[in-house]
A = this chain, B = another copy of it.
Amino acid sequence: MKAGIINVTGYAGSELARILYRHPEVEITSVTGRSAAGQKLGEVFPHLSALNLNITEELTGDVDVVFSALPHKASAEAVIPLLTQGIRVIDISADFRLKQADQYAEWYGVQHPDPSYLEDAVYGIPELHEKEISRAQLVANPGCYPTSAILAMAPAVKLGLVEPDIIIDSKSGVSGAGRGLSMSTHYSEVNENTMAYSLSGHRHLPEITQELSLLTEQTLELTFLTHLVPMTRGILSSCYSKLKAQATDTASTSVSHIREVYEEFYKAHPFVVITDTPPQTKQTLGNNQCLIYPTIDPRTNRLIVISCIDNLVKGAAGQAVQNMNLMYQLPEETALESLAVYP
């Protein structure tokens, strides 16, 4: 299978190249970049020298599947012509994640280039939409924060264990902000520093709301707050919600009950692991797992769920390859078998 990567020069794009290099069924035949067009991939990313590819401005040759790692809007514009040619696309940008074009306009500040694609696009979180993904032409790869938040809360919301009031407090490494230069990714500014940001509302909130709302009749009241912590990779989300009264009638057994519910929910999904001890972001470094630890604060009867992912793997490129595997009926774990790099 021939694969193309649009905008290989960002962190999601280069991570895709790193992962697909191991894929026995995929040959990367074309990679594009903007300012780096004309260079060899290994000049921009020495760790990818083995791929021996040239960065071009546009995709070249035939491709069966295309990953787009462009920023929003630019991605839709690049991807729509491919869709009309029948090429299957996994879009890592935000362009096809939201079902409502007005939400897109509200959060991204631009009109959607072609809202007609929003309905057919499948939100690519395999643990919730496996069947749709397997048939999709266009998969909208989830945001990094939403991946950690949705997987953490989906079982509790779906099974009606919690009240609609949910707080998601997420901590992310700096690579989530991408490879573009900015004061907030300048080493001396963010090193040895922790900060909250986007307090008036982060763009990943509507995705989380959309996906969790699909699982319940309740109208959710989500507060989602993002933080930057001084590390390169990793997201840890701490999720809080009151348990419903009926969910906790036998206090002494409720944690084990919650754990069972979670294990059952994800039993067919190899990349979600319900852990015995609180997980750490480093336990996911470089691999495609989402580690989830659900527990209960006994003093307030609140459900607390901790989830960890590598924002560039399960939060971006790894999940994209997982989606591709499903789209082509390949074993879901192909090219994603590596254990985390630790320490």
A contact residues vs B (CB 8 Å cutoff): 11, 14, 18, 21-22, 43, 45-50, 165, 167, 169, 171, 173-175, 179, 181-183, 185-197, 199-201, 205, 221-223, 225, 227, 229-234, 236, 238, 240, 242, 273, 275-283, 285-287, 291, 293, 295, 297-300, 302, 304, 306, 308, 337-343
A-B contact pairs, 15 of them (CB 8 A): A11-B343, A22-B337, A46-B280, A47-B342, A175-B343, A181-B182, A181-B183, A185-B186, A187-B232, A193-B282, A201-B299, A227-B236, A229-B229, A229-B230, A341-B341
Measured CB to CB, the closest approach of chain B to A131, in angstroms, equals 26
Taking a contact as CB atoms closer than 8 A, the residue among B22, B281, B337 that contacts A194 in the complex is: B281
Q: A18-B341, A286-B341, A299-B201 are in contact. Are A194 and B47 (CB under 8 A)?
A: no
Instruction: Tell me the complex Cα distance, A275–B223, Å.
Output: 22
Please state if B229 and A341 are interface contacts (CB–CB under 8 Å). no
For A196, list chain B residues within 8 Å (CB): 236, 238, 278, 306
Measured CB to CB, the closest approach of chain B to A336, in angstroms, equals 12
Please state if B223 and A304 are interface contacts (CB–CB under 8 Å). yes
**Main secondary structure on chain A at its contact with chain B?**
mixed
Please state if B186 and A278 are interface contacts (CB–CB under 8 Å). no
Please state if A231 and B191 are interface contacts (CB–CB under 8 Å). yes
Measured CB to CB, the closest approach of chain B to A221, in angstroms, equals 5
Taking a contact as CB atoms closer than 8 A, the residue among B192, B225, B286, B297 that contacts A231 in the complex is: B192
Instruction: Tell me the complex Cα distance, A196–B292, Å.
Output: 12
Please state if B225 and A238 are interface contacts (CB–CB under 8 Å). yes
Number of copies: 4
Please state if A188 and B343 are interface contacts (CB–CB under 8 Å). yes
Please state if B191 and A174 are interface contacts (CB–CB under 8 Å). yes
Please state if B342 and A45 are interface contacts (CB–CB under 8 Å). yes
Please state if B186 and A186 are interface contacts (CB–CB under 8 Å). yes
Counting chain B CB atoms within 10 Å of each CB, the highest count among A181, A278, A297 belongs to: A297
Please state if A231 and B230 are interface contacts (CB–CB under 8 Å). yes
Measured CB to CB, the closest approach of chain B to A5, in angstroms, equals 14
Counting chain B CB atoms within 10 Å of each CB, the highest count among A14, A199, A302 belongs to: A199
Counting chain B CB atoms within 10 Å of each CB, the highest count among A45, A49, A304, A343 belongs to: A343
Taking a contact as CB atoms closer than 8 A, the residue among B47, B181, B182, B238 that contacts A283 in the complex is: B47
Instruction: Tell me the complex Cα distance, A15–B332, Å.
Output: 25
Q: A174-B187, A186-B181 are in contact. Are A280 and B11 (CB under 8 A)?
A: no
Instruction: Tell me the complex Cα distance, A231–B343, Å.
Output: 11
For A192, list chain B residues within 8 Å (CB): 173, 191-192, 231-234, 281-282, 285
For A287, list chain B residues within 8 Å (CB): 47
Please state if B240 and A194 are interface contacts (CB–CB under 8 Å). no
Please state if A300 and B223 are interface contacts (CB–CB under 8 Å). yes
Taking a contact as CB atoms closer than 8 A, the residue among B167, B280, B282 that contacts A167 in the complex is: B167
Residue of B nearest to A312 (CB): B343
